[in-house]
Amino acid sequence: MKIDRLLLFSKTVTITAVFVAMISVLASLAYSFYLNKQLFKEHIYVLDGNGAAFSAKNIKQELMNREPEIRSHLTTFHKYFFNLDQYNYEVNTNKALDLIDESGKNYYLTLLNSGWYNTIKMNSLVQEMSFDSIIMNADVYPYMASVYGKTNVYRYGEEINGTKKSIGIECKLFDVARTQNNPHGLLISNYNILYHAKK
């Protein structure tokens, strides 16, 4: 009889231990699924060209930060497009054209056909743009923006005697895929120079 009780006790302990272990495993699995679900809710995972996954910003944060990206995109484009000299005009304009649609490319072709880039090259000129203001509305889509500033064209060492002009530009911006050449994921469109005249 003592042996029967001992066997029954041993069987009960074993069954209880297996039951507790199974509940622990199920609870651990349920908690890990919950954590993964929370993690995937707040992050976007992107594959790069080599197939490696990395975490991108969550959508809400990205949309909240769109205004500084728009400002930076416009600044970058205009610096590449308008800050030129005889050595960098081809490289800079090519970089600028990655950030704009056909409206900017048409303006570039107009300048090219008028001989502007040849004039810069042959006369060793420098063209620079400074910004007075960038006004934008990131609350509507497509994003609307206006850029105001000044351009100065001069020979090296003669900045003060250069040809200074005021410039006003309006455009729209669209979201596009981010690339190495376009890290903000924006494309300038409907590029319209309102005025570009001497002060």
CATH number where 99 lies: 3.10.450.230
Is 73 within a domain?
yes
Torsion on CA atoms 12, 15, 18, 21, rounded to nearest 10:
-60
Looking at the domain assignment, is residue 67 inside a domain? yes
Ranges in the chain, pLDDT < 70: 1, 38-64, 199
Domain that holds residue 22: 2-42
Write the pLDDT tens digit of every residue in 118-140.
999 999 999 999 999 999 998 88
Specify if 47 maps to a domain.
no
Placement of tokens 């063209």 in the chain = 127
pLDDT for res 53: 52
User: Phi and psi of 132, rounded to 5°?
Assistant: -90, -45
Instruction: Report whether 97 contacts 191 (CB < 8 A).
Output: no
Are 25 and 64 found together in one domain?
Answer: no
pLDDT at 58: 46
Q: Do residues 189 and 131 both lie within one domain?
A: yes
